[in-house]
Amino acid sequence: MMASQQNSSQISEEQIKLLERLSNACAVSGDEGEVRKIVLNEVKPHADEVKVDALGNVLVTKHGSGEHLLRVMLAAHMDEVGLMLTHDDGDGIYRFDVVGSLSANDLAGKAVWIGREHIPGVIGLKPLHLGHGDDRKKPIDIEELHVDVGPARGKEKVGDRATFATTFMQLGPSVRGKALDNRLGVATLIELVKHAPPNIDLQAAFTVQEEIGSRGARVAAFAFNPDLAIILDSTPAYDLPAWDADENVRYNTRLGAGPAIYVSDAGTLSDPRLIRYLIQTAEADKIPYQLRQPGGGGTDAAVIHRQREGIPSVSVSVPGRYHHSPASIARISDWQHTLTLLADALSHLTPDVLAAER
């Protein structure tokens, strides 16, 4: 039996505060500086090497003790979906492009923070009162929307990113915030760097530009050239009680059921040895877990597993509801169990895992 290191540990007040700072920070793809700064501050005292690469990834190495240790890459993306101001129409009105996948339905009427100074604004739409006939039934076209900072104070400019102006809160056993996809993964990875076990060389990549096609992870995996990779993300839970009465075949993960281990998604077939190893670890240490339902979506694993000569990869997510919208909800217990599963799995990892049959 494997001994559990953190099985009884709870998410601390300090860890919630860190998640709060990460969730409230603005880091739309390509402008991840605010999250990068928090990450650097947290990991520097605990790392052997810290580097910011050409694209803005934070690459952290923590060596184990001994020779011929497994090089284990852990990746968590720092960026979030959002907007980019593209044209100044005057009077505080800006046209914008969407960065990453966001639906127009989630945009109209929402408060936003713009640029590095979090300038408040709103996403405007033609008032319903002025609509004609079937206008009210028409789906919203992103082209009809604009950002209004009412009026300009000269601090915002074309090229600035904007995010939903949602302040983080703890709601009983849950947390609510924007960008919990993937600040939950970032917070988890910070913790794993702080408590890196001695049996592996830990290579932590806090990646950029995942939401627009995992551009940062591609170069991070090349640089690290690891033996295997575990990708930490947050995946949508579609587990509403309306479908709970019967067998729910529509959820892909559920809140409260523990970390979601990926078997496959739109971009990756996870390495079967790593899936098996994570399940064995969870079962031996009595950590709840769930298998994410196959289907759409993807993580940085999509590019990492195809790097160099192929890198065995698996993704593990904290499930969350309403990702890529103004506010997500996740359970603190799922975060805690994800952290425990990964800490336990890493601390017992040996080259045997990859020598096993597929």
Report in angstroms how near the CB of residue 189 gets to Zn ion at its nearest: 13
Our CB check for Zn ion shows the closer of 181 and 334 to be 181
Our CB check for Zn ion shows the closer of 85 and 205 to be 205
Under a CB-based contact definition with an 8 Å cutoff, are residues 319 and 257 in contact?
yes
Our CB check for Zn ion shows the closer of 233 and 239 to be 233
Sheet strand arrangement including 174-177? 169-171, 174-177, 328-331
Under a CB-based contact definition with an 8 Å cutoff, are residues 168 and 175 in contact?
yes
Element (H, E) at 303: helix 301-304
**CA distances in angstroms from 266 to 99, 228, 299, 302, listed in the order given:** 20, 20, 9, 8
Element (H, E) at 332: helix 332-347
Report in angstroms how near the CB of residue 297 gets to Zn ion at its nearest: 9
Question: Tokens standing for 353?
Answer: 């895992």
Under a CB-based contact definition with an 8 Å cutoff, are residues 25 and 34 in contact?
yes
Report in angstroms how near the CB of residue 211 gets to Zn ion at its nearest: 7
Residues 125-164, mask of contacts with Zn ion (x by CB under 5 A): ----------------------------------------
- Rounded Cα distance, 209 and 144, in Å: 26
Our CB check for Zn ion shows the closer of 103 and 225 to be 103
**According to the binding rule CB under 5 A, does residue 207 interact with Zn ion?**
no
Report in angstroms how near the CB of residue 326 gets to Zn ion at its nearest: 16
Strand locations in the chain (E):
49-52, 58-62, 70-77, 82-90, 93-99, 111-114, 119-124, 146-148, 161-164, 169-171, 174-177, 200-207, 228-236, 260-262, 290-292, 313-320, 328-331
Report in angstroms how near the CB of residue 328 gets to Zn ion at its nearest: 11
Report in angstroms how near the CB of residue 234 gets to Zn ion at its nearest: 6
**According to the binding rule CB under 5 A, does residue 307 interact with Zn ion?**
no
Our CB check for Zn ion shows the closer of 20 and 211 to be 211
Residue 16, SS3?
helix
Residues 6+ apart with CB under 8 A from 143: none
Complete DSSP assignment for 85-97: EEEEEETTEEEEE
Residues 164-183, mask of contacts with Zn ion (x by CB under 5 A): -----------------xx-
**According to the binding rule CB under 5 A, does residue 293 interact with Zn ion?**
no
Our CB check for Zn ion shows the closer of 282 and 318 to be 318
Our CB check for Zn ion shows the closer of 82 and 197 to be 82
Residues 220-249, mask of contacts with Zn ion (x by CB under 5 A): -------------x----------------
Which residues are designated catalytic? 210
Applying CB under 5 A, what is the total number of residues that bind Zn ion?
A: 3
Dihedral (CA of 248, 254, 258, 263) sign: positive
**According to the binding rule CB under 5 A, does residue 191 interact with Zn ion?**
no
Complete DSSP assignment for 32-54: -HHHHHHHHHHHGGG-SEEEE-T
Under a CB-based contact definition with an 8 Å cutoff, are residues 1 and 51 in contact?
no
- Rounded Cα distance, 237 and 331, in Å: 11
Report in angstroms how near the CB of residue 101 gets to Zn ion at its nearest: 10
**Which parts of this chain interact with Zn ion (CB under 5 A)?**
181-182, 233
